[in-house]
Amino acid sequence: MFPILEAEFLAPEIKRFVIEAPRVARKRRAGQFVIVRLHERGERIPLTIADGDPERGTITLIVQGVGKTTKLMNLLEAGDAILDLVGPLGSPSDVRRYGTVVVIGGGVGTAIAWPTARAMKQAGNRVVGIVGARSRQLVLLEPEMRAICDELEIVTDDGSSGRQGVVIDPLCERIMRGDRIDLVLAIGPVRMMQAVAEMTRPSGIRTIVSLNSLMVDGTGMCGGCRVSTRDGTRFACVDGPEFDAHAVDFDTLARRNRTYRDSEAAALEAFRADPNSALAQVRHSCRLEPTHPPEEAASR
Amino acid sequence: MSANPLPPKQRTKIPRQEMPEQQAAARRRNFDEVNRGLTVLGASTEAMRCLECAKPACVSGCPVGVKIRDFIALITAGDYLGAAAKIREDNVLPAITGRVCPQETQCEGCCILGKTFEPLGIGHLERFVADYEREHGELGLPEIAPPSGRKVAIIGSGPAGLSAAGDLVRWGHAVTVFEALHEIGGVLVYGIPAFRLPKAIVRHEVEALARMGVDFQANVVVGKTVTIDELMDEEGYDAVLVATGAGLPKFLGIPGEHLPGVSSANEFLTRVNLMHANEFPSYDEPVFDCRGRDVAVIGGGNTAMDAVRTACRLGARRSLLIYRRTEAEMPARVEEIRHAKQEGIELLTLANPVAFLSDDEGFLAGVRCLRMELGQPDASGRRSPVPIPGSEFEVPVAMAVVALGTGANPLVQSSTPDLATDPRGYIAADPETLRTSKRGVFAAGDIVTGAATVILAMAAGRRAAAAIGEFLESGAWIDAEAVG
């Protein structure tokens, strides 16, 4: 069991958790993720590690409620626990001194981009942040991003914060102006990352994306997360989740992510109709006896 | 001393007792076990057929050397728990091996009765005593030596790791088994379906090992969560056994393999076996909805057979196996092929997929295949399939599962630079001592040999345990140059 020490909403449907997982906290590096299973009947889902404190033995996860499991997780509070949590998984971000790094976060992607942006800053890069959201209240981690970015631009679909538009607008301007950009890191919805890739492709600006493919085990044994790239088939859980954006086949990724759309919709509908019975599953798992009571294990 | 009252001539007159089976018409739509197990009468009758050879060939046919004649004699004497304890001296997973071993090529293949009559049902009897003790809530556990003060880490909780853990813990060593998934058992829990191996049985066998003192830690990916060096330097393990298996799925590398609807057998079986996707939405993990649709599984081994029978149970209209040789060359067990056919599985042999086809929405719609004919025998001794030019044809399917075997998962090796591997990525280990290029680190099972069987992995686990035990005693690490 992995106890939840802190839980707070950062925005509607977006919650930040601090979870006790000492081994993961000690090892994790920017760009890596964990797989969690909330309860005995739960599915395994991947979540990026947003932050960690090795001294305290904790990691931070930022979760957007989009389907049954994430919405259920966002009902959990400090004092609850997660049944299974495994990691850190995936390859860490390739953090080096590139020069000027533009970090683009779309929606909850900002939370995924933030740890890498911070590592890039610490590695001596000039970091330009572009944070996009549908509206003001969905803008994530603004103070955190401001603290590590040399420049930060906020973009909202409705113009309720920063400029009105989409995240590729400021990127486009910078490229047109001929601003120096040595690396672009873009994390967000598939179509956003695809748009960024197309924007930087003509000028050959090195562009990295973090792919959100479907996963089961997260350790390379099933290939469910496979991604079609210029260099052949890659598994996002071990070879990624970060890839060269110009090598990725985004249309295939978008299609693969829709494989279980009907089941996902059905599960969400059932959850909406009766969230409490799902919540009871987690709370039940929370109180489970250890499989092998300590006194028995000690009598060996 | 024999408890069998019959003279040998009369023993051979008893027919081999048949395994009661669930009817095909019912079982093709449920996940309950197909084989129902021998009754007490059936088991004691079958046991009486044993000729109690002075030099039992069956024992030499068993990869872990179970004392078959002795445990059969205990069944004849009515001491079923004693028989179970006798098996556990050599085999910590009798309820599992009794179900999934290819006995026809091992113990039963060597049984002297088989030369003239049907061989003794050794697998069925092994299964019977293991089931008997479980159903009676008693466990025949072997004795445990006093603590040795030595710590051993085992990476991977599949058959090789579990079998090594059983021996090491019996000799008094402190054993911790690290598992990447959330459940213990490796392929026994994510690979082999419940209709061949109910998961409660795996849990029971794991529980027996825990009762013997083995410490299990799930959700630990060695190579990511912790490294081998950290286990040895910081956590004080005196020896490490790498038993991570061959879990990396192979794909065909043909057009359309990324279409939604195409998955590896590992993914399909993990969703159903480990994650209970067949019980969706009562369980959260989804699986491709096979109901009323046509499904093709590509391959001819036991994994392909498990996948196609699983698709049938998920409600597929047509469950089709596509294999490039003929039925005679299929590596799957004869019993599995027979069961599959009874369940209505169709075999499309001498056919090789060359492309997956898409519908307008970008989902899988079919498989394009080439007809094959058999040519000369290849290195494995099987006749190689040769494509017939211009013989392309299409099979409409909504889901395809690729079951072409697996390779070495590189997670442990890539995080342990001083661990030598062979060109295919498997860990280089001395075939006798199972020592690797790194002092104190041993490797066993599929991560050394490539994908094999449960019982061969268990045998390798036992050999590794013996070598580890010897290393812990002597502290000597010799002939490292023989490795790698």
Classify residue A296: in a domain, yes or no.
Answer: no
Distance, CA of B135 to CA of B189 (rounded, Å) = 20
Candidate from A86, A224, A291 with C-beta closest to B263: A224
Q: How many CB pairs under 8 A join A and B?
A: 137
Nearest C-alpha neighbor of B298 from the set B359, B361, B253: B253
Distance, CA of A20 to CA of A83 (rounded, Å) = 12
A202: left (phi over 0), alpha (psi -120 to 50) or beta: alpha
pLDDT at position B379, please? Answer: 78
Q: How many CB atoms lie within 10 A of CB A244?
A: 14
Look up residue B98 and give its two tokens.
């009794």
Residue B409: band (very low, low, confident or very high) from pLDDT cuts 50, 70, 90: confident
Question: Which of A29, A213, A217, A230 is most worth mutating to test chain B (most B CB atoms within 10 A of its CB)?
Answer: A217
| Chain B interface includes A249 (CB < 8 A) | yes
Residues A233 and A107 in one domain: yes
Q: Residues of A within the annotated binding site?
A: 62-64, 222, 225, 237
Residues A140 and A192 in one domain: yes
- The domain that holds A76 is classified in CATH as 2.40.30.10
Question: Which of A86, A221, A252 is most worth mutating to test chain B (most B CB atoms within 10 A of its CB)?
Answer: A221
| Chain B interface includes A279 (CB < 8 A) | no
| Chain A interface includes B173 (CB < 8 A) | no
More confident residue, B138 or B470: B470
Classify residue A299: in a domain, yes or no.
Answer: no
| Chain B interface includes A277 (CB < 8 A) | no
Residues A21 and A136 in one domain: no
Look up residue B374 and give its two tokens.
């058999």
| Chain B interface includes A189 (CB < 8 A) | no
> Residues B263, A224: contact at Cβ < 8 Å?
yes
A44 to B409: CB separation less than 8 angstroms, yes or no: no
Q: Residues of A within the annotated binding site for [2Fe-2S] cluster?
A: 222, 225, 237
Residues of chain A with pLDDT under 50: 291-300
Question: Measured between CA atoms, how close is A160 to chain B, in angstroms?
Answer: 36
Q: Which residues of A touch B182 (CB under 8 A)?
A: 37, 44, 83-84, 86
Taking only the tens place, the pLDDT of each residue in B4-62 is: 889 989 999 999 999 999 999 999 999 999 999 999 999 999 999 999 999 999 999 99
Classify residue A170: in a domain, yes or no.
Answer: yes
Look up residue B111 and give its two tokens.
């049984």
> Residues A17, A79: contact at Cβ < 8 Å?
no
Residues A248 and A283 in one domain: no
Classify residue A64: in a domain, yes or no.
Answer: yes
Distance, CA of B452 to CA of B401 (rounded, Å) = 20
Residues A77 and A27 in one domain: yes
Question: Which of A73, A291, A300 is most worth mutating to test chain B (most B CB atoms within 10 A of its CB)?
Answer: A300
Residues A126 and A197 in one domain: yes
A43 to B218: CB separation less than 8 angstroms, yes or no: no
Question: What's the domain count of chain A?
Answer: 2
| Chain B interface includes A27 (CB < 8 A) | yes
Candidate from A43, A87, A252 with C-beta closest to B275: A43
Taking only the tens place, the pLDDT of each residue in B434-459 is: 999 999 999 999 999 988 889 999 99
Residues A79 and A105 in one domain: no
Distance, CA of B86 to CA of B71 (rounded, Å) = 6
Candidate from B219, B267, B281 with C-beta closest to A224: B267
pLDDT at position B222, please? Answer: 95
- What ipTM, to 2 d.p.? 0.92
Average pLDDT (B319-334) is 93
B246 pLDDT above the threshold of 60: yes
Classify residue A24: in a domain, yes or no.
Answer: yes
Question: Which of B250, B285, B314, B415 is most worth mutating to test chain A (most A CB atoms within 10 A of its CB)?
Answer: B285
Residues A112 and A44 in one domain: no
Q: Could you identify the residue written with the tokens 């045998």?
A: B459
A223 to B181: CB separation less than 8 angstroms, yes or no: no
Most confident of A100-104, B86-90, B423-427: A100-104
Residues A119 and A11 in one domain: no
Q: Which of residues 31-50 of A touch B (CB under 8 A)?
A: 37, 41-44
| Chain B interface includes A267 (CB < 8 A) | yes
- The domain that holds A122 is classified in CATH as 3.40.50.80
Q: Which of residues 249-268 of B touch A (CB under 8 A)?
A: 249, 251, 253, 257-261, 263-264, 266-267
Distance, CA of A58 to CA of B96 (rounded, Å) = 39
Classify residue A248: in a domain, yes or no.
Answer: yes
Nearest C-alpha neighbor of B470 from the set B156, B92, B167: B167
Candidate from B182, B219, B264 with C-beta closest to A222: B264
Nearest CA in chain A to B399: A259
Beta partners for residue B153, in sequence order: B176, B240
| Chain B interface includes A256 (CB < 8 A) | yes
B374 pLDDT above the threshold of 60: yes
Candidate from B182, B263, B280 with C-beta closest to A84: B182
pLDDT at position B377, please? Answer: 84
Residues A162 and A224 in one domain: yes
B220 to A260: CB separation less than 8 angstroms, yes or no: no
Instruction: Give the whole-number percent of chain B exceeding pLDDT 90.
Output: 84
B484 pLDDT above the threshold of 70: no
| Chain A interface includes B200 (CB < 8 A) | no
The boundaries of the domain holding residue A228 are 100-257
Question: Which of A37, A83, A222, A258 is most worth mutating to test chain B (most B CB atoms within 10 A of its CB)?
Answer: A222
Nearest C-alpha neighbor of A99 from the set A15, A18, A183: A183
B182 pLDDT above the threshold of 90: yes
Q: What domains sit in chain B, N to C, each tagged with a CATH number?
A: 8-135 (1.10.1060.10), 151-242+410-426+433-453+474-482 (3.50.50.60), 251-404 (3.50.50.60)
Taking only the tens place, the pLDDT of each residue in A131-155 is: 999 999 888 899 999 999 999 999 9
Q: Could you identify the residue written with the tokens 């930040």?
A: A16
pLDDT at position A292, please? Answer: 47
Residues A72 and A25 in one domain: yes
| Chain A interface includes B169 (CB < 8 A) | yes
Question: In whole angstroms, what separates CA B291 from the centre of its chain?
Answer: 28
B280 to A296: CB separation less than 8 angstroms, yes or no: no
Question: Measured between CA atoms, how close is B350 to chain A, in angstroms?
Answer: 27
Average pLDDT (B267-281) is 96
A69 to B284: CB separation less than 8 angstroms, yes or no: yes
| Chain B interface includes A255 (CB < 8 A) | yes
Distance, CA of A263 to CA of A70 (rounded, Å) = 15
Residue A248: DSSP 8-state: B
| Chain A interface includes B176 (CB < 8 A) | no
Residues A147 and A26 in one domain: no
Classify residue A95: in a domain, yes or no.
Answer: no
Question: Measured between CA atoms, how close is B212 to chain A, in angstroms?
Answer: 7
Classify residue A35: in a domain, yes or no.
Answer: yes
Distance, CA of B191 to CA of B405 (rounded, Å) = 12
